């Protein structure tokens, strides 16, 4: 599993190196802000891809004495860093685009290479985005998912730049700067999505739908009279689930253990790479209030 994740991340790094260099050369030669903004975007993509590569190498290391819950959150942290890099991209693009539109200095030189670099970028980004997305779903990797979302956005931003070049070819040079503004807005939208998801995991927010899944599993066991203190957190590809269940006090210890095993196995069958911690307690009258709030 680790080998496949590393291979996909490394391919993304090489693709980013090629695109960054290609866009930078053509952007400088033509003076196109749209292509230069894409070059900067790809440069930060390269940094993000390198961060992703090292994060997936570390994230699947097993838990140790210092990191009892494993190293999975390095993926979430790398996704958060990607968000910061994207916001830096937005700031530069917005500044340059607005400056050019205000000053009226929007003239650019459109050549056949302008089209070649943008079209090449779209083709490469389509392929690596699909590759990263497939690997991210297979291995439940947020770092690869962040890269996939990142590069799928590059497809749209490159398409916008291509539109700006076409307009500039007919004398509407301001369209290049407008295209750069649209790129910035797209990047800003992606930054928000990536940043929110990464921050949610880093702050131990319960993943969407997981609480409900666990509740449904517990409610399907007639032996479980009440449950409470249900807590769910994720770290990279791993999900950690803990809760208390209340059973009849006259059940023997072996049977209680069997019930807990069944509950754990059913949850693991639904939620991939999950670790389940169950605390079993005897049913008592003083616990009747628990049903009103299963999270306390």
Residue spans of the domains in the chain: they are 2-201, 210-292
For 140, phi then psi, to 5°, come to: 50, 50
Mean pLDDT of 101-122: 77
Residue 1: the pLDDT is 54
Question: Quick one: fold of 210-292?
Answer: Alpha-Beta Plaits (3.30.70)
Write the pLDDT tens digit of every residue in 239-269.
999 999 999 988 999 999 999 999 999 999 9
Using alpha carbons, list the distances in angstroms from residue 8 to 49, 75, 121: 10, 15, 18
- pTM for the model stands at 0.67
Whether 11 shows a pLDDT value over 50: the answer reads: yes
Q: Fold identical between 2-201 and 210-292?
A: no
Assign domain 2-201 to its CATH superfamily: Cation efflux protein transmembrane domain (1.20.1510.10)
Whether 294 shows a pLDDT value over 70: the answer reads: no
Distant-in-sequence, close-in-space partners of 168: CB < 8 Å, separation ≥ 6: 32, 108, 110, 175, 176
CA atoms of 163 and 168, how far apart (whole Å): 9
Residue 285: the pLDDT is 46
Write the pLDDT tens digit of every residue in 212-228.
999 999 999 999 998 99
- Please give the structure tokens belonging to residue 71: 């190293």
- Please give the structure tokens belonging to residue 150: 């990142």
What is the average pLDDT score of the chain? 81
């Amino acid at each position: 599993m680790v080998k496949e994740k590393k291979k996909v991340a490394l391919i993304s790094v090489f693709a980013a190196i090629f695109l960054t260099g290609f866009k930078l050369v053509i952007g400088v030669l033509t003076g196109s802000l749209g292509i230069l903004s894409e070059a900067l975007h790809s440069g930060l993509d390269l940094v993000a891809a390198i961060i992703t590569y090292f994060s997936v190498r570390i994230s699947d290391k097993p838990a140790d004495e210092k990191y009892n819950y494993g190293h999975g959150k390095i993926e979430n942290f790398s996704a958060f860093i990607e968000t910061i890099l994207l916001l830096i991209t937005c700031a530069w693009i917005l500044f340059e685009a607005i400056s050019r539109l205000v000053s009226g200095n929007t003239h650019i030189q459109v050549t056949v290479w302008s089209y070649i670099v943008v079209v090449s970028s779209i083709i490469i980004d389509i392929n690596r985005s699909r590759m990263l997305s497939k690997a991210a779903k297979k291995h439940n990797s947020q770092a690869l998912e962040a890269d996939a979302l990142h590069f799928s956005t590059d497809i749209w931003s490159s398409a916008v730049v291509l539109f700006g070049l076409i307009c500039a070819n007919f004398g509407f040079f301001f369209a290049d700067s407008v295209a750069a503004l649209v790129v910035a807005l797209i990047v800003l939208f992606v930054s928000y999505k990536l940043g929110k998801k990464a921050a949610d995991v880093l702050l131990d927010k319960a993943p969407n739908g997981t609480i409900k899944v666990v509740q449904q599993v517990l409610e399907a066991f007639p032996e479980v009279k009440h449950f409470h203190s249900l807590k769910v957190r994720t770290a990279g590809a791993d999900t950690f689930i803990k809760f208390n269940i209340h059973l009849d006090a006259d059940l023997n210890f072996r049977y209680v253990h069997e019930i807990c095993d069944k509950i754990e196995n059913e949850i693991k069958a639904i939620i991939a790479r999950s670790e389940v911690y169950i605390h079993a307690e005897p049913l008592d009258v003083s616990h009747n209030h628990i049903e009103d709030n299963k999270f306390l």
